[in-house]
Amino acid sequence: MSDDAVRERLLQVVWKEIRSTDENNVLNIPAARRAIEAGASPADVARAMTAASYETAFRLLFLLSAEHAEEANDNAQTGWTIVETSLDDSDELAPDAGPDLEFLHEDLLSSDPTGAEGQDLFT
């Protein structure tokens, strides 16, 4: 699978999670329910929660990148990497010899499945 296809597939999964809160399920979160019962719009509460999910995903992807170490001016001896895995013949997860998934945070907005590049979250 190409580098771009692997990145795209992972970012699609991330966006599915980011956009999982909507007006129909926001009441399942007790703090959101209380805000709505106090007069907040369900759409606004869902949008705020979705924006917070986006910010969390972006920051996590950023922290996993080498760019984070550079920005923090760290000479880190250890770090993280994201690798694609698949089940081997004994049904154990094994890393694939796949593409480098660095700097995913840079592609997060442009991969928004709505085409809005996240702009609807911050208006």
Helix residue ranges, H only, 1-123? 3-18, 30-37, 42-63, 66-71, 105-108
Contact 103, 65 (CB under 8 A): yes
For residue 95, what pLDDT band results from cuts at 50, 70 and 90?
Answer: confident
For the chain, the domain total comes to: 1
What integer is the mean pLDDT of 67-95? 68
Q: Cα separation of 29 and 25, whole Å?
A: 8
Percent over 70 (pLDDT), the chain: 81
The three-class DSSP label of residue 85 is strand
Q: Cα separation of 42 and 53, whole Å?
A: 16
What integer is the mean pLDDT of 45-74? 81
Q: Is 2 left (phi over 0), alpha (psi -120 to 50) or beta?
A: beta
Residue 54 structural domain: 3-122
pTM of the model: 0.75
Spatial neighbors of 75 by CB under 8 A, at least 6 apart, are 69
Contact 92, 85 (CB under 8 A): no
